[in-house]
Amino acid sequence: MVRRIKRSPEICHPFLASCEQFSRGVFRSECAWWVVQQQEHQPTDLQSAQLSVPFSLAMALSLGRTRGTRAGMRREDYETALATPEVRALSSRVRCVVDPEIEAMTNTEEEPSRVTVKLADRHELVAKVDHPRGSPHRRMTWTELRELFRDTLADTLPEGAMQTVQARPVSICIKGFPS
C-alpha cells in the first residue's frame, strides 16, 4: 500500500518547503526515488554542501564526536570540508538508498534513519535511529535547545545579541507555540 505524504505546517528544510509548492500530492515512493536520484556528491558551494546528504554524511563521519554528541554542524565545518580532499573522496563513496523497513516506519511525526558503513576489511557498522533527537518521542529540553542554538551560532552572532535572544520569552520566538 502506498501512503501519501501528509503536509506539515512547519517545514524547516528548504527542499521540503519547495515540495509544498507542488499542486498535487506526491506519493512517498515517488519522492524517495527522486531524492535518492538527485543527491549531489561533489558540491561546489556552501549551500549545495548543506543540502547534500552524501556530503553531510561524509563530513559527519570525518568530524566524529570531536565536539560532543550534541554539537550541530556549523557553517565553518562545511567550508572546511569543502576544501578537504578526504571528505570529498568519502562523499563520492556515499550511496543513498531507500530502505523499505525505514520507509514503512516514516510518518508525519517520525523520520527514522539507518546508516551502514562498509569498511575496507568487509565489516559493517550499522547505526539506526528510530526517534531522531527533537522528534515527538525524543524531545529536546530547553537547555539542549539553548546549547544547540549557542553552538550553531557561536561564530556568527555576537555574544550580546546571543544573550538578548536567549533571554526573550520562548513564546515570542516560536510562532504558534503555546505560552
pLDDT on residue 38: 58
Asked if the structure places residue 27 within a domain, the reply is yes
Least confident of 20-34, 109-123, 127-141: 20-34
pLDDT at 18 over 50: no
Asked if the structure places residue 64 within a domain, the reply is no
Mapping DSSP onto H, E and C, the string for 109-139 reads CCCCEEEEEECCCCCEEEEEECCCCCCCCCC
Task: Give the pLDDT confidence of 97-124 residue by residue, as tens digits.
Answer: 888 888 888 887 778 888 888 888 888 8
Asked if the structure places residue 95 within a domain, the reply is no
pLDDT at 161 over 80: yes
Looking at the 3D structure of the chain, how many domains does it have?
2
pLDDT on residue 107: 81
Identify the domain containing residue 161 by its residue range: 140-179
Asked if the structure places residue 71 within a domain, the reply is no
Residue keyed to cell 546549547:
147
